[in-house]
Amino acid sequence: MLLALPPILSPRNSFSTKAIGTILALCCISPICAEVRVPNVFSDHMVLQRNLANKVWGRAEAGESVSVEIAGQSHDTNADASGNWELKLDALEAGGPYELVVKGSNTITITDVLVGEVWICSGQSNMAWTVNRAYDYDLEKLTADHPQIRMVNFPQVGTQEPIWEHPQSKWQVCTPESVGSFSAVGYYFGKQLHETVHVPIGLINNAWGGSAAEAWVPRNRLEQAGQYSAMLKQYDEMAANYKSLEEKGELTDKEKEQRDSLARLVKGNHRPANIYNGVLKSHLGYGIRGAIWYQGESNAPRAYQYRDLFPLMIRTWRDEWGIGDFPFYWVQLADFRDEKDSPGESDWAELREAQTMSQALPHTGQAVIIDIGEGKDIHPKNKIDVGRRLARLALADVYGIEIASRSPEYASMKISENKVVLSFNHVDGGWRPFDTASPQGFSVAGSDKQFVWAQAKILENGDIEVWSSNVASPVAVRYGWSDNPNVNMYDSANLPLTPFRTDNWPGVTVGKE
């Protein structure tokens, strides 16, 4: 039986082969695909999460009996009226390799299955950034023979309809030949975990460069939240206009340009729910320990909105994964753009603040990298320290390793005449200013809200005293409050002080949607 290709799959269309493969996966319906199937996150070299009743799911003929076997255990179920089935395995200890065998009208045998620790690696381009584009790739690949570290990459597909599988996504074993295509942040995170915890590590990379946080959230959760109705309406109107042009037939050159522009928006990585459906949905529910996230650049112009949007995304993922409040760690935005001669406002600083505020959610944390960005490149090449700082969070919080994990954070302030005394949390082993003996990067303001650079001194008890001869009655202090601040404060574990402000004066992104 031959299937006619719809216009979207025409050879004249600019879609990639990967996208076509994904769309064909959507089109695969009974009886053509009545045999038992599992999505491609279940494939050779996969890693199952240890000590968890891992879910396995797939499709088959309606009512068909399906069994799954691994490591001496067997479980049975029947496909529902729509042909969907799922079951749970008994929890396994770290180990392997095993075979995972799925039986129905046909048999699927998945080989070289390990059991260990599985982490989602998500976000935008700085998470997608591969090892072969990061610092010291030539050195890293010489020794990147890690048979117990595996990664699977998912393609970039934006759609409002859930995609069940991505046929091109396959697990890879880490070798000198394969490591170059791994997410660099994910790899260095996973490598540190493996070398410390000594169990297999599985890394699921679904990052999409340039993506906005709202694209990772299902539409119903955005609708329920209420404050995103204007955003949803805007994209609905774009989609309607795009559909109208697609159905029109013969188009003028101007209409073709308009159609192509709308296509990029409608199918792109900013439209609400697009990545949730097109990427995440295909492996949502796969057994994991937690997630690491590097994103925010695309949402910086709407940083105040991110205060609500980012926690909403985290809560939604946790709800839909169904394994409780799994650990969720992220990378705070790095320093970027030109340095400023005088203190001022910054959307990137406000986005960093929104990220810091999101730590109010349980089992979360952020890796502060205000010290390793590149002013002229939004993609800093030092991914080693990024991965390791994320690993510190996981090692301390999840695996019980006694290690410094959280960057110092502002705790409180008190004003004494013309000086402000600041107290901090998480200062491991005391302060270690870089390059100069005195703290740099502080500014102070009076009630006029005009900030000027300030002097600062570390007190014997670890507090920091801040003042300026130009501000007789200070009321607020900021540190690292710019796109690319000149800062130098670390603790003895070499973790940088988290940028902060003591005031809550309205920022430049208030009200932007």
Tens of pLDDT, residues 379-427: 999 999 999 999 999 999 999 999 999 999 999 999 999 999 999 999 9
Q: pTM of the entire structure?
A: 0.93
For all residues of the chain together, what is the average pLDDT? 94
Residue 7, pLDDT score: 37
Residue whose pair of structure tokens reads 């979207």 in the numeric block:
8
155 preceded by a cis bond (ω within 30 of 0): no
pLDDT tens digit string along 415-426?
A: 999 999 999 999
pLDDT tens digit string along 474-506?
A: 999 999 999 999 999 999 999 999 999 999 999
Cβ neighbours, 10 Å, residue 8: 12
Q: How far is CA 395 from CA 402, 404, 458, 479, in A?
A: 8, 9, 30, 28
Residue 30 above 50 pLDDT?
A: no
Residue 33, pLDDT score: 54
Residue 5 above 80 pLDDT?
A: no
Angle at 362 between CA 394 and CA 271, to 5 degrees: 90
Residue 56 above 80 pLDDT?
A: yes
Residue 23 above 90 pLDDT?
A: no
pLDDT tens digit string along 361-370?
A: 999 999 999 9
Beta strands in 154-199 (DSSP E): 172-174
8 A C-beta contact, residue 166 and residue 24: no
DSSP per-residue string spanning 43-81: -TT-EEETTS--EEEEE-STT-EEEEEETTEEEEEE--T
Residue 105, pLDDT score: 97
pLDDT tens digit string along 273-316?
A: 999 999 999 999 999 999 999 999 999 999 999 999 999 999 99
Residue 22, pLDDT score: 47
Residue 416, pLDDT score: 92
What are the counts of helices (DSSP H) followed by strands (DSSP E) for the chain? Answer: 11, 21
Residue 388, pLDDT score: 99
Residue 26 above 60 pLDDT?
A: no
Q: Where are the domains of the chain?
A: 229-270, 409-501
Residue 512 above 70 pLDDT?
A: yes
pLDDT tens digit string along 168-221?
A: 999 999 999 999 999 999 999 999 999 999 999 999 999 999 999 999 999 999
